[in-house]
Amino acid sequence: MIPRRSLALLPLAAPALAQTAFPARPLTLIVPFAAGGNVDTVARIAAGMMGRSLGQSVVVENVPGAGGTIGTERAARAAPDGHTLLLGVESPLAIAPSVMPAAVRYQPAADFAPLAMLASLPLVLIARPDLPARDLEGFVQLAKRAANPLTYGTSGIGTSLHLWAETLAQRADLKLEHVPYRIAAQISQDVLAGRLDLAVLTLTSAAPLVRDGRARGLAISASREHPSLLGVPPLASLPALAGTEMLAWQGVLAPARTPAGITDRLVTALDALHDDPEFLRQLELVGMTPWRLTPEAFARLIAEDSARYGAVARAANIRIE
């Protein structure tokens, strides 16, 4: 016969037992974009290695739509038991709440528990080969005196690429004309053909064009030159553009209210990736830079990026209804 005191303790023991048993089944890592591309690639690299650490498979589920907000919302509404996670990026978490508020039915700070940053990727400003500006300072001077605004292409309105270019325009007092594209591959083709003056691309897309001499690299969004694009200076290297560093980033988050015992185990498994030479090698192969942040630092980054992107969007009146 179980003592009455022991029976009274059973409800308290149940949550502890549930946490001890985690993970009880395969995990789902939601990627809020279609398969293919940097976000999906990093998710699949991390998922396989996380699965080995946790003793359960981690299945990547692509939930694209509305600039990543549909998949992000699904993750926010998932049961807070650690079995559904989000591969989060800056667009739906730090930009969309300001740029497309009607599509955002979640609160990044309230609905998610940041676990670990995985990687970052700088952006690159490239120019058509015959643009009459040889370097960043020459480009700024050209844009200031041009009779018509120079055109630049990005992969869409309200993306980090768009907002970085708007940051440049605002800080240097330039008139630039944004040309958003639905098919990202078409952007570089139009720059090379001279139909666009400029483009903002991710490093992985821009580096081959610049290294081969097919396009001119003018600036990078990181705080220093990147090893794969030596000679392309940071945008912030010009005194007037100090503080314009911006990075595309990818990290893992859990739904808010996930028990601490579970998030602690997930953080440990994710943090261990940065000590794995194979993980680092795989990121390097796809042009990504490992980025190790504590959960607290990750949360601060989201808040800081939200404030910064929001200010740029408001100043440029960038809004998608």
What structural domains and CATH numbers belong to the chain? 22-121+248-316 (3.40.190.150), 122-241 (3.40.190.10)
Per-residue pLDDT tens digits of the chain, which is 321 residues long: 444 444 444 444 444 444 458 999 999 999 999 998 889 999 999 999 999 999 999 999 999 999 999 999 999 999 999 999 999 999 999 999 999 999 999 999 999 999 999 999 999 999 999 999 999 999 999 999 999 999 999 999 999 999 999 999 999 999 999 999 988 889 999 999 999 999 999 999 999 999 999 999 999 999 999 998 999 999 999 999 999 999 999 999 999 999 999 999 999 999 999 999 999 999 998 889 999 999 999 999 999 999 999 999 999 999 997
Bond before 97 cis per omega within 30 degrees: no
Give the amino acid at 193. Answer: A
Under 8 Å between Cβ of 165 and 262: no
Give the integer Cα–Cα distance in Å for 107 and 102: 12
Q: How far apart are the first and last CA of the chain?
A: 65
Question: Which residues on neighbouring strands pair with residue 114, listed in sequence order?
Answer: 253
Give the integer Cα–Cα distance in Å for 254 and 291: 18
Greatest distance between any 2 Cα atoms in the chain: 91
**Closest alpha carbon to 255 in 115, 61, 55:** 115
| Alpha-carbon distance values, 311 to 55, 144, 166 (Å) | 44, 23, 11
Give the integer Cα–Cα distance in Å for 302 and 77: 19
**Closest alpha carbon to 20 in 201, 194, 188, 265:** 265
Under 8 Å between Cβ of 64 and 34: yes
**Closest alpha carbon to 31 in 283, 250, 248:** 250
Dihedral class, residue 257 (left if φ above 0, else alpha if ψ from -120 to 50, else beta) = left
Give the integer Cα–Cα distance in Å for 197 and 195: 7
Could you tell me where the DSSP H helices lie in the chain? 4-20, 37-54, 69-76, 90, 96-99, 108-111, 136-145, 160-172, 185-192, 203-211, 260-273, 277-285, 295-316
